[in-house]
Amino acid sequence: MRGTNHMPHKDKTRRVGLARALSKMGYCSRSRAFELIRARRVRVNGTVKSDPEFPVHVERDRIDVDGQAIRPETRTYLMLNKPRGIVTTASDEKGRETVYANISAELPWVAPVGRLDKASEGLLLLTNDSEWGARVTLPETHLDKTYHVQISAIADAALIEKLKGGVRGEDGQVLRVKRAETLRHGEKNSWLVIVLDEGKNRQIRRIFEALGIEILRLVRVAIGPLALGELPKGDYRSLTSREKQMLDRAMKRGD
């Protein structure tokens, strides 16, 4: 009789830490998950777990929070036109208004993809797909970020060359932009188009601080091929499937 060659079953899922699992499922942020687990409010297959790194299979294990079974949320991808004066965090220790004031409470939990500082405005992505969000912010994906920047000076060719050639910040780090050009100017100030392909903290502000030039407004108008367009300030909408696909393709080209 001919024998059967039984190949071992390959489990297509992999284990991740419990806190990360709650974040991957779109239930809450990883930091919030740590709090819930430490408070012994989370069960795995009926057993309370207090270790945020306890390994689980998202697709196979039953995870409950406060007695309610958690199911993976539908993937949500949003774009928000962030107004100036609000912070890009879930909560703020100083009690300042956050971007979540602009997002409906009826939506699944979403996290900002990167951040815009309080004084900056414009295009901000939010998602509950934590792995996708992390990939958007990776320098290796080479997604250009495009800004319109109003400065308290008349931009000339020498300034544009300085921006592209690199400026040494207060910490000694050389900061440069991928592209810079004048958009328009008045008698005392100018609007510039600035493109970055890396994400150093407060990069544009640090460049102009080093040059002794005040930034009057800083607006992010595009991330890769995704443009802010006519979305009103303070409003948000879901990305279309075409927009999501454009971003995905752009990231693959950067690999």
Q: Could you tell me whether strands 215-223 and 121-127 are parallel, antiparallel, or unpaired per DSSP bridges? A: parallel
Active-site option among 11, 51, 117, 235: 117
Residue 19 · residue 30 · CB < 8 Å? yes
Residue 211 · residue 151 · CB < 8 Å? no
E strands in 13-138: 15-17, 42-44, 47-48, 55-57, 63-65, 68-69, 77-82, 111-112, 121-127
Q: Does the annotation mark 235 as catalytic?
A: no
Taking the C-alpha atoms of residue 121 and residue 50, their distance in angstroms, rounded to an integer, is: 39
Contacts with 99 (C-beta within 8 Å, 6 or more apart), sequence order: 80, 82, 86, 87, 88, 89, 112, 124, 126
Residue 247 · residue 132 · CB < 8 Å? no
Q: 54-89 burial string, b = 16+ CB within 10 Å, else e?
A: bebebeeeebbbeeeebeebeebbbbbbbbeebbbb
Enzyme catalytic residues:
117
